Amino acid sequence: MSCEMLILDYQGRKPIYQQIEEQIERYIALGILKEQEALPSIRELASYLGINPNTVKKAYDSLEAKKLIVTISTKGCFVSQEIQQAKSDKMTQIYEEIKRNIEELKQFGESEETIHKQITKLLKD
């Protein structure tokens, strides 16, 4: 992965480490980053982005906690070999969130028919 792949919104509301984390997570999910592919070093990425290395480390630590990347001492950070399981876990998490949102809509009085129509409309857009 090259440093140029990351585009940050320095003025946005979302923390920088979270932007890094989400973009790398998306690149892995899309298959742009492959298993065992090396990520830029923390210092290299921080220098390129003009941010504190601790910010990059925080993003990398979070990705490692999600088992999307692994750190090999003295070698660097790499995309995990277990990304298929991580993708599956993430998809399960997304579907659970959708389910919670549907339940919340029902609590606000929306009918299943209305919810279904709205979801179908969203899928077409």
Domain 3-81 of CATH type 1.10.10.10: yes
Q: What is the pLDDT of residue 84?
A: 73
Q: What is the pLDDT of residue 30?
A: 83
DSSP string of 76-113? EEEE-TTHHHHHHHHHHHHHHHHHHHHHHHHHTT--HH
pTM over 0.75: no
Residue 102 and residue 18: Cα distance in Å, rounded? 26
Q: What is the pLDDT of residue 17?
A: 97
Q: What is the pLDDT of residue 36?
A: 92
Report mean pLDDT in 10-residue bins for the chain, 125 residues: 90 96 91 92 95 97 93 92 75 91 95 94 91
Residue 70 and residue 36: Cα distance in Å, rounded? 9
Q: What is the pLDDT of residue 97?
A: 94
Domain boundary assignment for the chain? 3-81, 84-124
Residue 82 and residue 1: Cα distance in Å, rounded? 18
